[in-house]
Amino acid sequence: MDKLVIEGGGPLLGEVRISGSKNATLPILAATLMTDEPCTIRNVPRLRDTMTMIKLLKSLGKTVEFNENEVRVSSKGSLNYLADYKLVSTMRGSFCVLGPLLAKLKRAKVSLPGGCVIGIRPVDLHLKGLKNLGAKFEFEAGYVMGKTNSLKGNYVYLGGDFGSSVLATANVMMAAVLARGETIIDSAACEPEVEALADFLMAMGAKIKGKGTSRITVNGVKKLHGANFSICSDRIEAGTFVLLAAATKSNITLTGLDYTHILALIDKLQEAGLKFQHADGWLKVKCQRNLKPTSITTYPYPGFPTDLQAQFTTLMAMTPGVSIITDKVFPDRFMHIAELNRMGANIRRDGNSAIIQGIKTLYGAPVMASDLRASAALVIAGLAAKGKTEIHRIYHLERGYENLEEKLVKLGAKIYREKE
């Protein structure tokens, strides 16, 4: 296993290109199960999660080629209906093959993804929505077994205790595309990744209205055809680089991003005193002065994203004054606090909030990455801290950040990998 070593404390400078969105890629690759014709997906990030989804598609019977950042999916025969535990348990995004398999094969056996360090993460909304379309489910040995005689359009309400669900919306929308008649999904997730999936499905011949809103209407079609599609930029990677620029007091220009996807973050950072310049496709962050402590609460899109909560916590940990970080989407997502405190931060957890008494400087220390975004928060802390930081268990980072070390070295960071 590798660890990351960072010599922190210096500002960074330069330009970084934002990769394609991981969370858009995963359901879009799953959607290719719904056609027998070839699909070509461009701007696909080369990540561990992408490779896991490709392995899953291959195990289900698809032929997949991945060159540079382009994925070609084609069919070589009939599909399998079994999504194995080994592939689904390592990545929750795999569960979004359930809707496509039910739509195409009328049956599916998909491993339940289980919880992870950021929370229990149930799938009740996925199953409720698919049941509304006529699927029946049984559970056996950690698998959910779904079948249907035929899927039929219906009214589906997808609001849960923590708001809308991104992947439940994806699963139900995909199944509805090949169902008979009209489906209305209410309290649908509005995330750009769900919009991207709707765009891909429409490129395949689906009839969808209301993408990007909380009410999505799908009129079922008999068949989908192949499509060529380009994945949108990763708003969470973009937000991570913005927060990294702020924490290291750097001048960084992000290119290839959609600025409108991170308005909730930009707004909070402007409140903290950070200045931005932007135009179509780029965003310049220039941080020279101290910021003001700023509180955030995470919500589903267009609210502040839970996937940037840990990274924002790092920034506020080194911003003198009190700020409060509340996570309403994943109330237990606070594994990074203990590690940041090992670097000198003063953060206390209270229920679904982190109370931060910000200090001027963090100090390098050996720390342990617990999950993908917590790892990004520790990289930011390491780059901003005085002295040397060693981050263990960095395989989490490879799940979601394409060429992170290369990108950081290009910006002047002193960061390298060592064998444990």
Q: Which residues bind ligand UD1 (CB under 6 A)?
A: 23, 26, 92-93, 119, 121-126, 160-162, 165-168, 193, 306-307, 329-330
- Residue 395 C-beta: closest distance to ligand UD1, Å: 17
- Residue 29 C-beta: closest distance to ligand UD1, Å: 11
Torsion of CA 385, 387, 388, 389, to 10 degrees: -20
Pairing of β 282-286 and β 275-279: antiparallel
Please, which residue, 310 or 340, has the CB nearer to ligand UD1? 310
Helix residue ranges per DSSP H, 106-250? 124-132, 166-177, 192-203, 235-247
> Active site residue: 39, 96, 116, 232, which one?
116
- Residue 239 C-beta: closest distance to ligand UD1, Å: 12
- Residue 57 C-beta: closest distance to ligand UD1, Å: 15
Rounded to whole angstroms, the maximal C-alpha distance in the chain is 63
Please, which residue, 312 or 413, has the CB nearer to ligand UD1? 312
- Per the DSSP assignment, residues forming a β-bridge with 173 are none
Asked whether 27 and 170 are in contact (CB, 8 A), the reply is yes
Please, which residue, 144 or 411, has the CB nearer to ligand UD1? 144
Asked whether 394 and 3 are in contact (CB, 8 A), the reply is yes
- Residue 237 C-beta: closest distance to ligand UD1, Å: 12
Please, which residue, 62 or 399, has the CB nearer to ligand UD1? 399
Residue 273: burial class (beta carbons within 10 Å; 0-12, 13-18, 19+): middle
Asked whether 60 and 91 are in contact (CB, 8 A), the reply is no
- Residue 185 C-beta: closest distance to ligand UD1, Å: 14
Please, which residue, 159 or 293, has the CB nearer to ligand UD1? 159
Please, which residue, 248 or 306, has the CB nearer to ligand UD1? 306
Please, which residue, 151 or 166, has the CB nearer to ligand UD1? 166
What DSSP letter does each residue of 232-296 carry, written as one string? Answer: PB-HHHHHHHHHHHHHTT-EEEEES--GGGGHHHHHHHHHHT-EEEEETTEEEEE--SPPPP--E
116 belongs to the catalytic site: yes
Separation of alpha carbons 72 and 389, rounded Å? 40
Separation of alpha carbons 302 and 141, rounded Å? 38
Separation of alpha carbons 19 and 398, rounded Å? 13
Amino acid at 391: I
Task: Measure the CA angle with vertex 21, ends 143 and 113; round to 5°.
Answer: 15
- Residue 374 C-beta: closest distance to ligand UD1, Å: 12
| Residue 278 CB contacts under 8 Å (≥ 6 apart), including other chains | 259, 284
Active site residues: 116
